[in-house]
Amino acid sequence: MIYLASPYSHPAVTIREQRFRDACRAAAQLLASGLTVFSPIVHGHPLVDHGLPTDWPFWERFDRDHLVRCDEVVVLMLDGWRESVGVATEIRIAGELGKPVRYLAPDGTGSPTLAHVAEEAGR
């Protein structure tokens, strides 16, 4: 199972909504290609309307539980992914668990890759 990591938290509601839509699009593309994928943003964003917070400290335990169960992490490289505390922590946890981390361009072109992006991200 792929854990689709992507940035979410932002003070602007419009940015969070766009990031949700981008995560939905990427998750749908991965599913359509026959892969099993879990996206904490796709699952969690609708729950914010029911009183849950948007910050990483709240979601960390939930996301860690899913990271343990996944086979690999794919980072959706939306604007803000390098600065995202959540994405950085998800990458760190994946490393601690021995899970491969791949990177996916937000336009969905190509397969997730371990290419030069990992080096640029400081891995």
Count of the separate structural domains present in the chain? 1
Three-state DSSP string of the chain: CEEEECCCCCCCHHHHHHHHHHHHHHHHHHHHCCCCEECHHHHHHHHHCCCCCCCHHHHHHHHHHHHHHCCEEEEECCCCCCCCHHHHHHHHHHHHHCCCEEEECCCCCCCCECCHHHHHCCC
Mean pLDDT of all residues belonging to the chain: 86
**Domain extent at residue 52:** 2-120
The predicted-structure confidence for 60-111, as pLDDT tens digits, reads as follows 889 999 999 999 999 999 999 999 999 999 999 999 999 999 999 887 555 5
Supply the CATH number for residue 81's domain: 3.40.50.10400
- The reported pTM is 0.84
pLDDT interval class at 116 (50, 70, 90): very low
